[in-house]
Amino acid sequence: MSRRTALKALGATLGAAAFAQAIAPLTEWAADMSVDEYLQKHYKELSPVDLAMVIARLEQRTKEETGVEVHIGDYRPQPGVKFGYALNLSICVGCRRCAQACHVENNHDRPSGNSYIRVLEMQKGSMDLAKGRVNYSGPVPNPEKFYLPVQCQQCDKPPCVSVCPVEATWKETDGIVVVDYNWCIGCRYCEAACPYHARRFNWKKPEIPAAEINPDQGYLSNRIRPQGVMEKCTFCLHRTRQGKLPACLEACPTGARVFGNLLDPESEIRWVLKNKRVFVLKEDVGTQPSFFYFFDE
């Protein structure tokens, strides 16, 4: 064997090994994904039969992996309903029970303590979100502070939707901005675009003890997310599209949260918009939120 041949062989071997090493994560990832899943169409293009099969597959997989029987529903927007949320900052005491309820309801990753709600402790007289502190401890409320829970504002002009390169996120007719977890490529543009820091990235597949999995799941909301995709508050659409109140509202001990149909003139959310001096966060950026804040007179 000539020196040249030997070097060539060595080079080829090293190259092949390096290549194999480089694509190793890809093969591991692919083991977790079936061909069906890889070829799955966008949510909006799935026929009812396709979607039923997709849901059956997801339910089956959760059963295999965790032993838990879950029900994943495909809840669609109701005609004549557009959701609005209002939060009374005079009443909120900063107890963070809303963030905790979100964590439990939406099958969030337990080790990282994920939640779609962040409660900021703000200096009275200031609306500078950058100065809000999340690491506050009790007792609350501190008389010099007020507490500002921030979650997805379900904007009418959502920057997260317009930056998505693959249309994996969109706004539905009832105002909720949703994510197709099976279409999202995890580029995190939406996370960067959101002025409210409302989007979360699944760095790993959420870990939840089987006994704590919420089995009442929505395809576009709280089903257990795959690794590497974005997620966000959906106003608990698996609850609210069935007429129920969102989990964060039910957890609020003071009644600071008001939820309802903006298109119903008799609704409580409309009463708040009409009678309270409401404002939205970062109005100047033009996102037109469906989430309102107010102080009592």
Catalog residues that contact other proteins under the rule CB under 8 A: 86, 88, 91, 93-97, 99-100, 103, 112-115, 118-119, 133-141, 197, 200, 240, 242-245, 249-250, 252-255, 258-261, 267-268, 271-272, 275-276, 296-297
Give the strand pairing for 83-88 and 291-294.
Answer: parallel
Give the nearer residue to other proteins in terms of CB position, either 126 or 254: 254
Q: Are 64 and 213 in contact (CB under 8 A)?
A: no
The nearer residue to other proteins, 107 or 261, going by C-beta atoms, is 261
Q: Which helix (H) or strand (E) holds 55?
A: helix 48-66
**Could you tell me which residues come within 8 angstroms of residue 293 by beta carbon, excluding any fewer than 6 positions away?**
86, 87, 88, 89, 148, 278, 279, 280, 281
In whole angstroms, what is the distance from residue 155 CA to residue 161 CA? 10
Nearer to other proteins, 149 or 226 (CB): 149
CB of 58 to other proteins, least distance (A): 26
Q: Is 288 helix (H, G, I), strand (E, B) or coil?
A: coil
C-alpha 243/C-alpha 216 separation (Å) is: 14
What is the closest distance, in whole angstroms, from the C-beta atom of residue 246 to other proteins in the complex? 8
CA 233 to chain centre: 4
Q: How far is CA 112 from CA 17, 48, 75, 147, 200, in A?
A: 35, 35, 28, 23, 12
Sign of CA dihedral 20, 22, 27, 30: negative
Shortest Å distance, C-beta 255 to other proteins: 4
Q: Toward other proteins, which CB reaches closer, 127 or 245?
A: 245
The residues with which 113 forms a beta bridge, in sequence order, are none
**Is 63 or 133 the residue whose CB approaches other proteins more closely?**
133
User: Is the Cβ of residue 114 or residue 290 nearer to other proteins in the bound state?
Assistant: 114
As measured in angstroms, the least distance from the Cβ of 235 to other proteins is 10
Cβ proximity to other proteins: between 55 and 152 the closer is: 152
Closest CB 242 distance from other proteins, rounded Å: 7
To the nearest whole angstrom, how small is the minimum distance from the Cβ of residue 8 to other proteins? 48
Q: How far is the CB of 25 from other proteins (least distance, A)?
A: 22
